[in-house]
């Protein structure tokens, strides 16, 4: 009986494919954003608002992950944007391999400046899977509770931006914004936090500017 040293990342295959995706996207001049959150926090609404503000300036393509249905893709297609639904079957997250298979379709859509990937609604699993994106963004909403960052630290640790959505509902909840910010920054002091509402458009312009600025300076 003897020990054989392996010393490797368990997700090494995913990470290799993610690096290939990143390289191919960069070659095409595409800036990729991965939106992650629990179900119902407003990812699709944020994408719709982003499209409305940006589509005259920037060529956008969207990839949407869900376990079943193409309901989100139908919503986005109404904005005249190329959109591809990935049904993950029973899988709770997108992985680099799924994105790799979608790249040929993305490149067929003509020139794309901004690729928005809407991950499967889940605060745990997507955190571990690099897709090859340039920017990881977490969305949480005020109806979910200000303790979310402490409960799902991996997601908040890996993200560069946090959108706290549905702030128009703040007065109807016991959500403590100051506490939420403190909790998020305790996990990731570098996190940039934007308060948003897709109903009254709070913070949407700031969010869109952030994508443009990050994309330019990458």
Partner 1 sequence: MHELSIVTSIIGIVRENMALHGVGRLKKIKIQVGEMTAVEPEALRFCFGICAEGTDMEGAILDIEEVPVIGQCVHCKKEFTLDRYSDSRCPECGGEAGNYVSGTELDIISMEVE
Site of interaction with partner 1 (CB under 8 A):
1-14, 91-93, 95, 123-125, 127-129, 150, 152-155, 157, 182-183, 185-187, 189-190
Residue 59, helix vs strand vs coil: coil
- Given the complex with partner 1, which of 7 and 174 has the nearer CB atom? 7
- Given the complex with partner 1, which of 100 and 199 has the nearer CB atom? 100
* Closest distance of CB 92 from partner 1, Å: 6
- Given the complex with partner 1, which of 114 and 164 has the nearer CB atom? 164
Measured CA to CA, the distance from residue 76 to residue 57 in angstroms comes to: 17
Instruction: Annotate 171-206 with b (16+ C-beta within 10 A) or e (fewer).
Output: eeeebeeeebbebbeebbeebebbbbbbeeebbbee
* Closest distance of CB 93 from partner 1, Å: 6
- Given the complex with partner 1, which of 1 and 108 has the nearer CB atom? 1
Measured CA to CA, the distance from residue 156 to residue 162 in angstroms comes to: 8
* Closest distance of CB 156 from partner 1, Å: 10
* Closest distance of CB 192 from partner 1, Å: 15
Measured CA to CA, the distance from residue 31 to residue 117 in angstroms comes to: 11
Q: Dihedral of the CA atoms 211, 48, 193, 87 (nearest 10)?
A: -90
Identify whether the C-beta of residue 159 lies closer than 8 Å to the C-beta of residue 36.
Answer: yes
- Given the complex with partner 1, which of 44 and 188 has the nearer CB atom? 188
* Closest distance of CB 112 from partner 1, Å: 28
């Amino acid at each position: 009986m003897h020990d054989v040293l392996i010393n490797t990342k368990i997700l090494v295959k995913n990470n290799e494919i993610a690096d290939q995706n990143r390289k191919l996207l960069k070659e095409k001049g595409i800036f990729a954003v991965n939106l992650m959150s629990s179900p119902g926090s407003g990812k699709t609404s944020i994408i719709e608002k982003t499209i409305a503000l940006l589509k005259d300036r920037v060529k956008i393509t969207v990839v949407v992950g869900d376990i079943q249905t193409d309901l989100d893709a139908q919503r986005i297609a109404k904005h005249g944007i190329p959109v591809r639904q990935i049904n993950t079957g029973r899988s709770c997250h997108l992985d680099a391999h799924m994105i790799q298979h979608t790249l040929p379709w993305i490149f067929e859509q003509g020139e794309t400046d901004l690729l928005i990937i809407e991950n499967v609604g889940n605060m745990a699993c997507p955190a571990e899977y690099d897709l090859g994106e340039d920017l990881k963004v977490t969305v949480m909403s005020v109806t979910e509770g200000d303790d979310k960052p402490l409960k799902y630290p991996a997601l908040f640790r890996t993200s560069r931006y946090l959108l706290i959505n549905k702030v128009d509902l703040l007065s109807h909840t016991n959500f403590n914004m100051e506490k939420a910010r403190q909790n998020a920054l305790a996990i990731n002091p570098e996190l940039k936090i934007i308060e948003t509402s897709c109903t009254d458009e709070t913070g949407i312009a700031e969010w869109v500017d952030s994508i443009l600025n990050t994309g330019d300076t990458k």
